[in-house]
Structure 1
């Protein structure tokens, strides 16, 4: 069993939950398996860490922390800065903790402004050599979907600390949100060059997935989960693994990962919503509705409300769907008070369930501000829904252009492109892209996956004049 040991031979690593490959090596229902080495001595338990110490260590390493630990860390740092108001480091830690709390809860309207005040106070106290505060401001801007600000803060942090890997993680998100895929790729390469460990691997997995490197993303996440330093960190890795499994159409595997994540960290609401997604794809609709409701009760994100609303609509329950769409609007308004840009999710909602012309206006403005791949896809679809397929094709093609950055293998993006092409009386390309969408993930949407199948049935068999010479 020597191959299981790290170079340092740490007992903690040897006892880790083995995640294995993301293709389904987890035991049924995500049962954790602990390995005890023969002859290994029972070690005296380490002293319990001080309140907030685990969260402080996690944030310092760029890793997720549990909500109870974050709450303890916030209270600890608040006491410290009251006693020592010129402690720049404590202000930066407090700001990062507030930002992470806001990301993990429904408190963005209150917590994001608090995070910004704490981080800016840190910079005021120590204007120079304070990459920690700059890095925190970049992370906060990314959480708010303000990618221009994230780029500015991230580049300032990089100038001060060029070997700080977390800065490159923020720059990957910022450049991607601005559609600068070349710089995003370079930032990802630098991140993996200057950093190492589970947190780096977990963050790199997202970059690999966006580049269409599915196997690399799977391997990186499996290694990250196996080496995670806390249940919250491992749960975050498993939640992301569940997302990737679902994107591949692997419903049962996705559900195992999501359930394992919730067992490790009951506050992992993204995994709870993921269970809803996977259960709906498996046809277990009552369980799916319950999972979504639990997620929304504690973290009513607009995206979760949109997903649940569309699930209700697919079940022929328009009034229940309407309630969720109302919640979506309400949450976007609340988050806007915390500086969050909700135009993308609002545009997606309006295109399919509201006013497509309004969606086009919102998404055009969003494209001018930050022309990322997700915005290109959403704007293309909104234009299609508004009846302008010629212009829609331009943006849908940007989102799926494998050469110029559209490397995300997205069933939804392929579906949008295929339907736009059918609207332009191009059955050949339309058929290919609808087939691609269902090949990538036959369950990508409770509304649009059935629509893709219906469109293909109407097209019928491939005529001879569509076959390549």
Structure 2
């Protein structure tokens, strides 16, 4: 890539933005201070401005500096701070287009902003900035390599995430954030041993930070260690200092609570996350999930609609559509499913892989044969547990239940890698077994799904209850001969 092209992209991106390309006065001071020297402590960029200790403490870092501290130390950043950081770096790079380190920071900021807003337009900008950093930065450039790995994770391109992440680790073996991004890459590829190695390395290099606690919680959740995951994320939320970081961990705690069927606790976590950071739209969608489970459907619909207005993620459209469908509002559900397809197409144009989401949609609300086609290709490229579950269910919807059970077993059998305690995955396995006439296993798995979380889906939880009623109680048998 020509550095002049990337510089022109930055210039064009900032034209017409409110406030112009020139950062706020406070942001300029922070940027100047960053150029003079800074240190990252506890996830926050601490500026090394001179201070003789007699008059007043040094000034607090500005929004751009706070966001830079976040994106370079593996913690969530506030959206307004990210906007300030992007404006600062774009302004700086128009004057200093060969500053490879700033290109890496800008690319990482684009990735984080795109992740927070579900805006695929960020991905091409991030890729240009990070590749320009590789061209203009030092020969060993772990920041840019790590940024490309994070971008690949955001796009659900886990083979690329593995490639870039392993290159970043090779360039800087003691950089814990490079090992951290590999956790997501290996998870998407179904490599549980790789996940374990990466987590061990992260905990060796940075054992006591909230961000590492949140990473550990996610891994423990995927292994079915629910109590350990809850303890880890609770500690992370308690120790986080920045509001955006604390809100992200509260949202994660809410998801864990909901997955174990605790609607009230989940709702409290989601509400607290929103109070802490009003831009935490994942918590707002979680609020809709919990409210629907509590029977407060009008509030649930409002929460989902508000989340989608600010973060139009396809997964929220699928959840809202299924809630509408459970209420008998088929036309409203179809509107959401069509919006999901539109958003997924837009994300794919920006380089994202939406095969999993589209496969889930088509299996239940569209063309199951198309779902099988999409998900077979996805399984061949990146065989994660979520893909195994979705492919098994899509095969079931086409009538291929014997093969469907093979994938459902992978998704739910800890010995095969499926250690996560997912009520939806277990329901899928039970429904497939029922179709195959395997009443005993079907009854066991359908009950297990409702034990894990009786409210796991407004559509599928009632189906599980109906299926158990159809199966009835197991036959009474005498003692064996």
TM-score higher than 0.5 here?
A: yes
- Equivalent pairs counted in the alignment come to 428
2-structure distance, mates of 1:436, 1:127: 54
Name the stretch that deviates more: 337-346 or 187-196. 187-196
**2:130 pairs with 109, 119, 127, which one?**
119
The equivalent of 1:384 in structure 2 is 396
The equivalent of 1:98 in structure 2 is 110
- Deviations for 1:40-60, whole angstroms, at most 9, x for unmatched residues? xxx978634223111011112
Q: CA RMSD in A?
A: 1.8
- Deviations for 1:208-254, whole angstroms, at most 9, x for unmatched residues? 11111111111111111111120000000000000000001000000
Shift of 1:464: 2.4
Q: Which runs of 4+ in 1 moved over 3 A?
A: 43-46, 465-469
The equivalent of 1:4 in structure 2 is none
DSSP-derived class of the 2:353 partner: coil
1-structure distance, mates of 2:480, 2:134: 62
The equivalent of 1:23 in structure 2 is none
**1:218 pairs with 222, 226, 230, which one?**
230
DSSP-derived class of the 1:403 partner: helix
**1:139 pairs with 147, 150, 153, which one?**
150
The equivalent of 1:80 in structure 2 is 92
Shift of 1:265: 0.7
Q: Does 1:280 align with 2:292?
A: yes
Please say if residues 56 and 93 of structure 1, whose CA atoms lie closer than 8 Å, have aligned partners that are also in contact: yes
Q: What pairs with 1:336-415 in structure 2 (closer than 5 Å)?
A: 336-415=348-427
2-structure distance, mates of 1:295, 1:191: 32
2-structure distance, mates of 1:448, 1:100: 33
**1:195 pairs with 183, 186, 206, which one?**
206
Unmatched runs of 5 consecutive residues or more in structure 2: 1-41, 43-54
DSSP-derived class of the 1:139 partner: helix
The equivalent of 2:186 in structure 1 is 175
DSSP-derived class of the 2:227 partner: helix
Please say if residues 225 and 234 of structure 1, whose CA atoms lie closer than 8 Å, have aligned partners that are also in contact: yes
The equivalent of 2:239 in structure 1 is 227
The equivalent of 1:128 in structure 2 is 139
- Deviations for 1:30-71, whole angstroms, at most 9, x for unmatched residues? xxxxxxxxxxxxx97863422311101111220001100000
The equivalent of 1:154 in structure 2 is 165
Unmatched runs of 5 consecutive residues or more in structure 1: 1-12, 14-42
* Change over 3 Å in CA distance of 1:255–1:396 after alignment to 2: same
- Deviations for 1:302-336, whole angstroms, at most 9, x for unmatched residues? 10000000000000000010110011001001111
- Deviations for 1:258-279, whole angstroms, at most 9, x for unmatched residues? 0000111111000000000000
The equivalent of 2:46 in structure 1 is none
Under a length normalisation based on structure 1, what TM-score does the superposition of the two structures give?
0.89
The equivalent of 2:258 in structure 1 is 246
* Change over 3 Å in CA distance of 1:390–1:321 after alignment to 2: same
Please say if residues 418 and 432 of structure 1, whose CA atoms lie closer than 8 Å, have aligned partners that are also in contact: yes
- Deviations for 1:127-150, whole angstroms, at most 9, x for unmatched residues? 522111111100000010000000
2-structure distance, mates of 1:399, 1:104: 28
1-structure distance, mates of 2:382, 2:145: 21
Between 1 and 2, higher relative CO (CA 8 Å, sep ≥ 6) is seen in 1
The equivalent of 1:328 in structure 2 is 340
1-structure distance, mates of 2:238, 2:472: 47
Under a length normalisation based on structure 2, what TM-score does the superposition of the two structures give?
0.87
Please say if residues 270 and 284 of structure 2, whose CA atoms lie closer than 8 Å, have aligned partners that are also in contact: yes
Name the stretch that deviates more: 74-83 or 458-467. 458-467
The equivalent of 2:15 in structure 1 is none
Please say if residues 428 and 466 of structure 1, whose CA atoms lie closer than 8 Å, have aligned partners that are also in contact: no
The equivalent of 2:11 in structure 1 is none
Please say if residues 164 and 195 of structure 1, whose CA atoms lie closer than 8 Å, have aligned partners that are also in contact: no
Shift of 1:393: 0.5
Shift of 1:375: 0.3
Please say if residues 214 and 233 of structure 2, whose CA atoms lie closer than 8 Å, have aligned partners that are also in contact: yes
